[in-house]
Structure formats: C-alpha cells, structure tokens
Structure 1
Amino acid sequence: MTACKNFLSDNTAPIDKAVLEALLQANENHTLPYGQDKFSAELETVFAQKLGAKLKVFPVATGTGANALALSALVSPWGAVICDKAGHIENDEGGAPEFYTGGAKIMTIQSKDGKILPKKLKEALLYNQNKGVLAPPIQALSLSQSTECGTFYCKAELKALVDLAHEFGLLVHLDGARLGNAVAALECDVKEITSEIGIDALVFGMGKAGAMAAEPLVIFENERTKPALKALSHLRKRAGQTWSKGRFLSVQALAMLAEDRWLKNSRHANAMIAHLLEGLTAKQKTSSFEFYLPYETKTNELFLITETALLDHLEKEDFAFYRFPVEEIFKDEITHFKNPQMARFVTSFYTKKEDIEALLKAF
C-alpha cells in the first residue's frame, strides 16, 4: 500500500465508516424535517448525559458556521468578542463571525502559544471598560481547545479564564474543532473542561475526528444563556444553517458519540504525531538534521522550524503540509539556522504508522 503523504490537515482524511453506515441507515424511511426527527431528539439526550448538564443542541454542518452562529447569539452587533490572536475566528473564517453577528468586532490578545493568560485578559477587559462608549463592549470570550498552535488548556487554566470572563459579565464560547485531541491529551472526562467549569456555548467538533459534516453547537442552560437560547432557532434559520433533512447531521454526531468514537479517533491522531516527534528527535541525534519546536506537541499538530531547503525537498517528494513565516518571538532561539521557516504537520484518525515512517525517511 502506498503511504499517504498528505499532512496538510485532518480535514483531508476520509469519513469514518461508522458515519457512512449511520447515514445509510437513516436513509431508509421518511421522517420529520427541520430537526424534529427522532435522531435529533436522541442526540440532545445523549449530549445531556455525556456532559452532565441541561442543554440544547443545534446541529450545524461546518465549524465556521457553528462558531459564527454561536457568537451571533452571544454578542450584540455593537459589541465585541475577544480571542487569542491565533484564533480560528480571527484568521480562518472569512469574516463569517463579523457577518453573522451583524458587525460585532473581534478583538485579540497576543500569546506565545495560542493560550490566553488571565493577566492579559483582565488587562484587556479593564481597558475596554475604561474606553466607555468609544469602544464596543466586549461581551464574549472565545477560546480554542485545542488551540491553533496544537497546544491545549488544562482544566485549571480554562476555569481561571471562564471565571474571569463571567466576573466581567461575558459569556464564554469554546471552539472545540479539535476538542477530542485536547481531551485525549489531558486524559480527562470532557465534562471537566466544558460543563463543569461554566462554558456557555460549545462547538463540539466532529469533522476533524471522522464525521462528514457535523459540528454540533451545544448551549448550556443557565441564566446567562437564556437570551441566546430564545434567539438561536431563528438565528440558525436566518443563517441558512437549518437543514430540512436535519437527521443526516444528527446521525453523524450519534455515530461519533457511540462508544466514544470521536475520542478514540482523536487519541489515534495524537499517537501518530507522538510517533513522528519521537522519530524526528531520534534522527536529530544521529544526523545533521536540525529542528526547533516553537510549541509543546501533545495533540495531533506538530509545528517545527527548520531549514527552508529541507521543506523544499519534502515538497519535491510530494509531501503536503503548510508553511508559515517564523514569528519574531522565536528568532532568538533559531539563530543557527541559515534560512529558517516554520511548517505544520497534522495527523488524523486515518493516518497510519507507514505514513509516518515514509515522512521520517524523507527528512
């Protein structure tokens, strides 16, 4: 079997066979439309049991759609949401959050590794308050778990940020596109980093873990989220995110939740990156190959800085990955490189050891 050379993203992986089977089974008979079907009702029950909380589930097809829809329910058009500067809503959603919210501003906090520090958040919130009417009031905090740098927040780190946000009257949105990878790395129960610490809106990512198109938006029921819950059904319809044949979103999510397939798949993806890192570390000790890790690597994304010529060689060997310019904060650490560049390699539930071995051989 030919090794897969595509390490661009976990989005490049096929659909998990369990999801395909669930879609086929749901395709047998007529049922009610617009999420009134039995599968959608079951999905809400399963999520409530898994997360141990009262909640409402709004199945959405894409992560961008789910994030933007969530923020449209949490933030006023004249308000603002704050996130890390590396956040997906800031860099990779084509203005969808601003569009869905009707013009709310996205404000950012610079970090070294995609993780906001409580001190920096408090400074930003106090500054925003002192600006008065001259600045849109920050009404929501958006966090990514795991982050766009492949790092993750531990429970205590998340809780500190959530508590601070609530103290300032903000709602908290968690972009969980790679939630499974974070849970697998933390070896915790998903409740511990969502419902138990006060997350208000959760995008429970499944596409990167093997679904075709299923990113359920989970809203936890509390006093803070009452206005959002009242508006969301209408907002979802207005945004074109209410599927007439909604069962085909729900059955994907049910298939991923069954036997924790979303977590098992994420755990495998993490293990493949760990195998890659182990091989690269061994190779660096026994050859002239050098690399620098800008971020801690424990999920399914590996960022490294190495010579541009080596990355050129990998591409000539048909390996696919993303490149990024080296940020200023790392330049003092890599002065020994002649022409450094940063690259990102991502694994998925479908990545095999043979794929990793082929990549290691090419380095």
Structure 2
Amino acid sequence: MFFASDNAGPAHPQVIQALADVNSGYAVGYGAEPGMDRVRNRLRDVFEAPKAEVFLVATGTTANSLALATLTQPWETIFCSPTAHIHEDECNAPEFYTGGAKLTIVGTDDKMAAASLRASIEGEETRGVHGPQRGPVSITQVTERGQIYTLDELSELTATAHEYGLKSHLDGARFANALVALDCTPAEMTWKLGIDAVSFGGTKNGCLGVEAVLFFDPGHAWEFELRRKRGGHLFSKHRYLSAQMGAYLTDDLWLDSARRANAACTRLATGLRSLPGVSFDLEPQANIIFLQMPRAAHQRLRAGGAEYYVLAGNPDSGAPDEMLPARLVCDWSISDAQIDQFIALARG
C-alpha cells in the first residue's frame, strides 16, 4: 500500500523489456542511435508537430531547467506558481542553469490565473536596467496540488504571456495524467494553445528514468543541445533513454498507464469519501488526493503498513479525533486490492 509518490512505483515491464532488448551488441551513442530517430518521429506524430525538435534527458529537473535556460536570458525572471516544481522541488536548478535568472511567484494558489499573471508581468521591467526583465511563463500540468488547468485556462495564460512577447513552458511531469483527464490531444493541450516548449514526463508514469523536451520552434534546438552537453546531461549510452521512451510510446502505453493511475485515484477517493470524518481539501482531478483524516485513522493505516505523507502534526500522539492533513498519490501499478485494503484500514 504505497501512496507516497508516483516516483516510487515500479517501471512498467514493457519498459524493462525494452532496456533488455537494447542491451545487446553495439550502437552509436549520444542520441544518434536509430531508436532516437523513431522516438523523435513518434513524438512529432503524437503532438501533430512535424517540425518539433525532441530531446531526451534522465530527470524532470533537467528537462525543466534546460528548457527554461534555452528560453531565458540570465537577466530575466521566470513566472510560475508558488507550488511549481521549479520553485519548490528543484534546489534552484533553473536559476543555476539559466545563469542567474530569478523566479517571480504568481498569485497564492497552485494554479495561476491570467489576471494574476498579468499583474506580475506588469510588476517587472519597472526599474529599467536595475531590475529583472520579463522572461517566460512556466505552467505545471498537473499541479503539485493535483489540479488540472482546463484548456481555456491554459489558453488565457499563454495569450497573456504572448501579449508581452513572452514564451510559455509546460512542466508536464504528469502530462499524461492531465491529458487523459481532459480527454484532449497533446496538440490541443500545448502548441495549439500557444505553448512553446514542453517537458514531457515519463518517469512518474512507468519509465525507469527518462523525460522528453519538445520545442515547437526548431530554432531553439542547437542552443538546447549545447546546454544539455555543457550541463553534463547528454548520455553517451543514449540508447537506454530512447529505449525507455520508445516502449513508453508504443501502443499508447503512456496513456494506458495514466488511465490506470487516474482510475486508481478515483476508486480510492470514492472509498474514502464514504468514511466518517474524512474530508477533501481539493476535488481530486488526476492521480493525487489531499485530504484530512482523524489521527486514529492515520494510526490504523500506519500500523497496517500504508505508506503516504502526513503533511502536518504528529500521527503517533495526540487526540484520536484531531484532523491531520495527508497527500496520497496513485501510480499505474497500484492494485484494486491495495486500495480496498487502505480504505478498510482507514474505516477501522
């Protein structure tokens, strides 16, 4: 019963098999292997973007940081939400790889609103040479609070950014989870709305460790290649990245895995919703739940072997009916039996 993170789940057997298959003989390195050509062409088809440039890296931090570095000058600022990966979870890597560009936090929620973005943009470039200049907007989809931007909301954000001549980046660590929840196409969630670059996640959704970066303007390709190499993130045995991504894309495994994770979250939420004393902080939209449960329920779950994050308070001591917040995340591999066991323990 592991609900702590979708990073913690196993890689999909088809991904592992693809690694085994590629692990024989010899292949040219650094992304020049035939498998990368297939991945590039497949992602161009998936995104309906025949001129898109596609690159693979091993981590989401690398994908976000190098993509943003390619879109940002060191004297600019990147606009993002308070809970964005690039702000909370990447140890200042975007600032490092951009050579010092800062982050400007937009609003107070996990989702940026166009009005708040406009106000933040207007607040910069007010001090001439003495202050940061306006840079790209980075949008996290799914957000770290488990919320999904609608297509209209994304369109409003990118339109606001482009009004000021700014680029838009989509942090898609959980890209597939958002896509299946919205029931749209990758093109409809990205370049058709004005997104310029995408970090296309694989690791949280069944891969061992691979993320894709897509630029819909191929003019950014050479700079990204140089930054990836200079930053130490160009794999020599690159075939092990392209093998993972190739398997991930084959027969829409990436969509099937996301549907499984989202469906597991729905089953879990439905069961928990029926329990006395349980309340949801936000309506679950993808594969993440934020809720409040009595301390007694947390104690039963922890004693029963459930793994998840209690976000505040000590679950081991205190009043049994005191409400404590928690985060639950479902990955593609969570079984119905594990979910039902979790719910039974919470019920007591």
TM-score scaled to structure 2, two decimals? Answer: 0.93
Q: Cα offset for 1:310?
A: 3.1
Verify: 1:293 aligned to 2:280, yes or no. Answer: yes
Structure 2 residue matching 1:9: 3-state secondary structure: coil
5+ long unaligned stretches in structure 2 = 314-319
CA deviations on 1:117-161 (whole Å, 9 max, x unpaired) are 000000110111324333211211000111111010111110110
CA deviations on 1:301-341 (whole Å, 9 max, x unpaired) are 01102334432442233211112249xxxxxxxxxx97433
State the partner residue of 2:293. Answer: 306
What one-letter code is carried by the residue in structure 2 that aligns with 1:270?
A: N
| CA 169–325 in structure 1, closer or farther in 2 if over 3 Å, else same | farther
Structure 2 residue matching 1:181: 3-state secondary structure: helix
Structure 2 residue matching 1:357: 3-state secondary structure: helix
Contact in 2 for aligned 1:52/1:195 (Cα 8 Å): no
What one-letter code is carried by the residue in structure 2 that aligns with 1:314?
A: L
CA deviations on 1:57-112 (whole Å, 9 max, x unpaired) are 11000011111111111111221111000101100111211111111101112343
* Alignment partners' CA distance in 2, 1:84 and 1:267: 26
* Alignment partners' CA distance in 2, 1:128 and 1:339: 44
State the partner residue of 2:245. Answer: 253
State the partner residue of 1:350. Answer: 333
Which is further off, 316-325 or 45-54?
316-325
* Alignment partners' CA distance in 2, 1:229 and 1:281: 47
State the partner residue of 2:54. Answer: 57
State the partner residue of 1:188. Answer: 184
* Alignment partners' CA distance in 2, 1:111 and 1:186: 24
Contact in 1 for aligned 2:22/2:239 (Cα 8 Å): yes
What one-letter code is carried by the residue in structure 2 that aligns with 1:292?
A: S
State the partner residue of 1:90. Answer: 87
Contact in 2 for aligned 1:72/1:101 (Cα 8 Å): yes
Contact in 1 for aligned 2:15/2:207 (Cα 8 Å): yes
State the partner residue of 1:214. Answer: 210
1:37-116 to 2 correspondence within 5 Å?
A: 37-53=33-49, 54-112=51-109, 114-116=110-112
* Alignment partners' CA distance in 2, 1:344 and 1:66: 25
Verify: 1:318 aligned to 2:305, yes or no. Answer: yes
State the partner residue of 1:203. Answer: 199
Q: Cα offset for 1:194?
A: 1.1
Verify: 1:136 aligned to 2:132, yes or no. Answer: yes
Contact in 1 for aligned 2:261/2:330 (Cα 8 Å): yes
Root mean square deviation, CA, Å:
1.6
Which is further off, 79-88 or 290-299?
290-299
State the partner residue of 1:278. Answer: 270
What one-letter code is carried by the residue in structure 2 that aligns with 1:102?
A: G
* Alignment partners' CA distance in 1, 2:192 and 2:163: 17
Contact in 2 for aligned 1:122/1:164 (Cα 8 Å): yes
Structure 2 residue matching 1:315: 3-state secondary structure: helix
Structure 2 residue matching 1:59: 3-state secondary structure: strand
Contact in 1 for aligned 2:125/2:132 (Cα 8 Å): no
Q: Cα offset for 1:195?
A: 2.2
Structure 2 residue matching 1:142: 3-state secondary structure: strand
* Alignment partners' CA distance in 1, 2:78 and 2:295: 36
Q: Cα offset for 1:267?
A: 0.6
Structure 1 residue matching 2:4: 3-state secondary structure: coil
Moved over 4 A (4+): none
What one-letter code is carried by the residue in structure 1 that aligns with 2:325?
A: M
What one-letter code is carried by the residue in structure 2 that aligns with 1:362?
A: L
| CA 105–308 in structure 1, closer or farther in 2 if over 3 Å, else same | farther
* Alignment partners' CA distance in 1, 2:31 and 2:233: 11
Contact in 1 for aligned 2:297/2:345 (Cα 8 Å): no
* Alignment partners' CA distance in 2, 1:308 and 1:78: 48
TM-score scaled to structure 1, two decimals? Answer: 0.90
Structure 2 residue matching 1:129: 3-state secondary structure: coil
* Alignment partners' CA distance in 2, 1:340 and 1:357: 22
Structure 2 residue matching 1:128: 3-state secondary structure: coil
Which is further off, 238-247 or 306-315?
306-315
Verify: 1:126 aligned to 2:125, yes or no. Answer: no
Which is further off, 103-112 or 353-362?
103-112
